[in-house]
Structure 1
Amino acid sequence: MSPVLQIALALGSVVGLMGFMAGVRHLAGTWQIGSEVQRKLVHIGTGIYALTLPWLFPDRWPVYLLVGLTLIVMLLLRLPNSRLGATLHSVERQSYGDFLLAISVGVCLFLAGDQLYLYVLPIAVLTLADAAAALAGSTYGTKFFRVEEGEKSLEGSAVFFTVTLLISVICLMLMTSFAPPNIIVLSLMVAGFGTLVEAASWRGFDNLFLPVGLLIFLSAHGTSTLGELVFLAAIFALSIVAFKIVAPKFGLNAHAVRVYVTSIFLLLAVTDPQNTIFPILVLVAHIWRRSVAPCDSKFPDLDVVAALVLVSLGFLTLGKATGPTAISFYGIAAMGMLMGFCAIAASASRPVVRYPMVLALALALFAIREGVVRLNPDSANWNGPMWPAVFICVALTALGPMILSRVFATHRVVKLTFLALLIPLPYYVISTGF
């Protein structure tokens, strides 16, 4: 297929998506279909179409063009008085699900490469299991648990687990050469892990965290032995139990516990243990900061996990796109986030204590960084230890919140994340010639 035809197909796909949404909107007015069902119909329709993309387009770049155009359309649909946009946004909760669905399609297709089951299985779960769980929960749910400002049902989670298990078994049987016992155990883990991710997600983040999380899990453990999979499942289950016991002592609710366990598990799945030290310490520093210097955010624990996961996925995708791994640059960004939370927490102390405390923490971070660099292979340290970038990033994130305390009084997670990325992200782009 020629490039011109592929561009025309991408443009036609966007027009078709809008036509499909208009059709759902028209039928909803005729048949009195509720807003949640409308949204899920659009979700299922776009998801099923997304499953055909690897075969519909011979090249990958038209798919990324399609994703970009879809994001622009979704942005326009969020404008005031958009009747068509009401099909997606009439549900009474803040959600970024439409944007994240389009992004997850592009990211999953890119990260999957030639291993198409890494794309098909996560997108199929997102399309079918997520919609089935939502509709079953809203129709038959009787036992609910809290998620941010809303709630989800145990019945919906049970449906999600069952549908995901079936999808995983079918996809792995048809698209891989894995041994049958491995497929069964792997499918059970995919269903269990996916159910936890779906239950822990909020504001539509499941549209990104669920498919990308499943892709990362499958790519990291798809070829593991049966014994390794069973051991991994036991560790994951014990982690959930341990967090439930310890978390209340730090003021974490059940939703935050699920989010923390899931994010830490994903970090450990995608990289070596030494490279997870700083991201995990970010969560610890956030708990310390929250206890001594609360902010105005309604859900600070969820905000910090969202920022950390988005930064992680961003650097993972960048590394895949450019070739050289971005893990060392990601470590610097995580150091910056960690230092920022520590600086805000230390700001609650007297000045005579505050600055020595921040200096001591910075020196400790430098020592940990030295250990991480030594443990990483040469391929991870391809740009050297980058100490000047480390010093500048830590100085910015330490001094910024202390000097400009009023600026960081609100929206702390967003501002600290931006400050932490200010050095390592451009540095990586320049170093790779991206």
Structure 2
Amino acid sequence: MAGPGSRVFISHLAGISVFDPNGDQVGRVRDVVVSLRIGGRPPRVLGLVVEVVGRRRIFLPMTRVTSLESGQVITTGVINMRRFEQRPSETLVLAELLDRTVTRTKTTEDVTVLDIAMVQTRVREWEISKVFVQVGKVGRLRKAKGETLTLDWSAVTGFALAEEGQGAANLLATFEQLRPADLANVMHHLSPKRRAEVAAALDDDRLADVLEELPEDDQIEIIGKLKEERAADVLEAMDPDDAADLLSDLPEADAERLLLLMEPEDAASVRRLLSYEEDTAGGLMTTEPIVLEPDATVAEALARVRIADNKPALAAQIYVCRPPNETPTGKYLGTVHFQRLLREPPYILVGSIVDDDLDPLPPDTPLPLITSYLATYNMVAAPVVDEADHLLGAVTVDDVLDHLLPEDWRESSLHGGDAAAMDHGHESEEAGGR
């Protein structure tokens, strides 16, 4: 994979082959999807539009791309084969940005966009970095001659979202830097119509994060207004325990339809959670803890802990198990805490420093016993293991708190949230043309 700082010109991606982890060709790249931002900030790269068999175009998130070198794209995991549908907050680079006339800020002269480069940041995300332009306007056949320049994204204007009249897109750009809980606060105070518009414009991962922070009624309202295939995609992006909680609040027939639309692997994790009582370790756990085999090194463990998508409570420790590594795993051997990893040389095997002194939690452990377990041993997460010593998941302190607080705590929290944030939300709503 091109490392942080590596630059890729997007026109060079057009038509290159996409391969799955087994080396089989999936399709070819047809475009790159970005999210424009206000204030001249570089757009975030969301993913690739890939044409597969039958000329169907699908969306491949950048989080699923493991290599972008040597004229090919390598993906990881299962690829969602549902047809790509562009959302209001998304822009296609090849289709919509190339050949556009923009203005060079320094000289106020018109330039024509010939190519656009993206770069991987230190947190392993991709964003647009450079614009390759030709001075002057270029005709359809590009016969005009002029000086060509490579400029920073911030050195040209004419791309970024307008401050007014952008509806949901402008609202999203304004609140892009908010934490999911704060964006949930904003959405909670929007009208149902406006809330649905914003939900429709958010990408799946962002909407999943926000849904996890919203009260139950808002969750049900939003998921009910999405197309069923989109709703299934969002549920796949949610933590399995949160997705299970949401599905348990829906009518049984609706929940089953959505489960059937989800990828089988994701649906299986959620179904397992739904099979346990809500206030037990099995019902509270997440099925996606960090699992490593005993012959993994400390360096490998720290690399897994550093992944930005890991929530702090789950990144506090790794679980050492025999294969398979997906839950339910092979034989559970014990845990290694993050602090212990920091104290050991990078080449040490995690199997040699495993902590097996504490008994794991059975899946039927009730909530009061989980709480006392975490408090007694000063832990932020605990393994959940069945009678055959298979790791089923991990219970984290945030999920325990979620069930200890009153049922309407999210509602109360959002109503009593930061007044300035609420005012800001209303102002942006007005700016968006409500």
| TM-score, normalised with respect to structure 1 | 0.29
Higher percent of residues as helix: 1
Higher percent of residues as strand: 2
